[in-house]
Structure 1
Amino acid sequence: MKFDLHTHHYRCGHADGDIRDYIEAGIAEGLQAIGISDHTPYFGSDEEQPFPHIYMGKSQIAGYVEEVLKLKAEYAGRIDVLLGIESDYFPQYAEIYRKALAPYPFDYMIGSVHQIEGISIFNKNRWRDLSDARKIEVKEGYFALIAESAKSGMFQILGHMDAMKGNYPAFSSIQAARALDNTLKTIAECGVAIEINTSGKTKLSGGWYPADDILERACHFGVDVTFGSDAHKPSRVGDEWEAVRSRLKDIGFKKWVYFKQKKKQIAEL
């Protein structure tokens, strides 16, 4: 079963192409299923679209869902088009997000932490002049927030769980093993999957999210895994799928998962 559950398109303001372009790219890549998972609107403000280059506008989500469902019907028998969405996890707005997204028939939702302490995880300047102890505190807080997102019950998949290394590769060497293990245990207990996200190659860190050492620990704790390219242009759909599958088998995983109508589907590696 070849699938890619993490793709974006023009509505988020920082991706190229429309939904059909990504579906066609999935067919060209030999995918049996493709998930469309653009960023939700930002629901932490009364404004229609306070961050137009990050999130779609509130008025766009209904049209987004309608378009995906229409294309799902059009492409039935050629490729399974899954309705997903990627949502930031903001604890203070979690219930607002939950209520806003509840009316839509998502096959799955990806929960991603893109900010901690009000600063983007990709802002490399946030690490400037921090003591070693403070760096550990920030990393532990990041993993704690990911664990909280798993416990929220909102998500089937957690996105790019060490993406904080993206523009700060030294993040990987900050020692926070206990916090990581506690987070992975929580994820396993909650039955949520983590994605292997190949978009790390587009950042300073290179490689995938998460790193192999995290995947090894995830395997030990029985965490489910899935695949997402996090494509922001159609040419990246399915990117490195075969290499990821091979590496997961080497680590010891026997299966990975995808979701339909929020129900876990198991596929052999």
Structure 2
Amino acid sequence: MHHDYHVHSTYSDGYFIEFMATAAAEAGLSGIGIADHCVVSEDPAEDRYRREMGFNLDLTYERRRDAIERLRDRVDVRLFDAVELDYEPRDEAAIASFLEEAEFDYAIGSVHDLEDVNVHVRDYFADKSERERRALVDEYFEKLVALAESELFAIAAHPDLVERNPALRGLATRDHYDRAAAAFAESRTVPELNAGRVLDDYGALHPAPGFLDALADHGVAVAVGTDSHRPAAIEPRVERIDAELAERGLEPVRVMDVPDAS
């Protein structure tokens, strides 16, 4: 693992860029992507959510870009100026316009919401019936396929995020995985091997082994991201990703070498 394409800084819900970069270098990485959360939408509710959560990179990316540029000569790792955007099919035009304007090194797309509720909100989904929860997992993968087909992003982050929620965990099927893998096979968007929850109670990588098998069967490679929010998380997450790559005999995609990745 040479590059970690997905960490966060104080420009969303992470830590200072210099400390994240230093930790990446100490973990043996040669590149790190500062991919802060961002919400771009014409929906007033989404705009309120963005302001409440502080995911305002569309307003601050030039300031952050200046900080990254000034840090490049002070850290022993290549810094990428990236973004992690919440994806909703209804917001494609707004997202495309913002990405064209901002000209990041690359963009990561994430499906975070179902019924306009973040999938991490356990109580909301726990109150649903099994039929409703299965329908929500269907909706999640429909959005993931749409994300791949949109061609807006270089990377699709944690492509089975529903597994983090116990109420939705285990409901994805091989059919879900095959449909998503087929979409990625036809897209420039690369799914991410994500270590954002390997150190907590979930304790596993995204995507799940069955989804990784489906991606392999469709000839789809993966990019890698630790999804770290604090410096101390980077090294153990890198070690976990490296072990998975070695076990599967995988060489991750170097996103910055992919044509039209920015």
User: TM-score normalized by structure 1?
Assistant: 0.86
Say which of 251, 256, 259 aligns to 1:260.
256
Aligned residue in 1 for 2:64: 64
Q: Is the 8 A contact 2:32 2:80 kept in 1?
A: yes
**Counterpart residue identity of residue 255, structure 2:** F
Q: Which runs of 5+ in 1 are unaligned?
A: none
Say which of 102, 105, 112 aligns to 1:104.
102
Q: Which runs of 5+ in 2 are unaligned?
A: none
> How far off is 1:41 after superposition?
4.5
Distance 1:162 1:54 in 2: 24
**Counterpart residue identity of residue 252, structure 2:** W
Counting only pairs closer than 5 Å after superposition, residues 215-226 of structure 1 correspond to structure 2 as 215-226=212-223
> How far off is 1:197 after superposition?
1.2
Structure 1, residues 40-85: CA drift from partner, whole Å, max 9, x if none? 244435769843425125431221222223323x248x32111111
Aligned residue in 1 for 2:161: 163
Count the aligned residue pairs.
259
> How far off is 1:261 after superposition?
7.4
Distance 2:200 2:239 in 1: 21
Aligned residue in 1 for 2:195: 198
Aligned residue in 1 for 2:148: 150
Q: 1:264 to 1:227 in 2, by over 3 A?
A: farther
Structure 1, residues 205-253: CA drift from partner, whole Å, max 9, x if none? 2211111221122111111211111111111124332332332343353
Distance 1:210 1:151 in 2: 19
Counting only pairs closer than 5 Å after superposition, residues 86-105 of structure 1 correspond to structure 2 as 86-105=84-103
Say which of 210, 213, 234 aligns to 1:237.
234
Aligned residue in 2 for 1:173: 170
SS at structure 2 position matched to 1:237: helix
Percent identity of equivalent pairs: 23
Q: 1:44 to 1:239 in 2, by over 3 A?
A: farther
Distance 1:129 1:20 in 2: 42
> How far off is 1:140 after superposition?
1.1
Q: State the 4+ residue runs in structure 1 displaced beyond 6 angstroms.
A: none
Q: Is the 8 A contact 2:38 2:55 kept in 1?
A: yes
Distance 1:227 1:239 in 2: 14
**Counterpart residue identity of residue 108, structure 2:** I
Q: 1:32 to 1:142 in 2, by over 3 A?
A: same
Aligned residue in 2 for 1:38: 36
> How far off is 1:86 after superposition?
0.3
Aligned residue in 2 for 1:250: 247
Distance 1:124 1:191 in 2: 33
Q: 1:210 to 1:225 in 2, by over 3 A?
A: same
Distance 2:50 2:131 in 1: 35
SS at structure 2 position matched to 1:235: helix
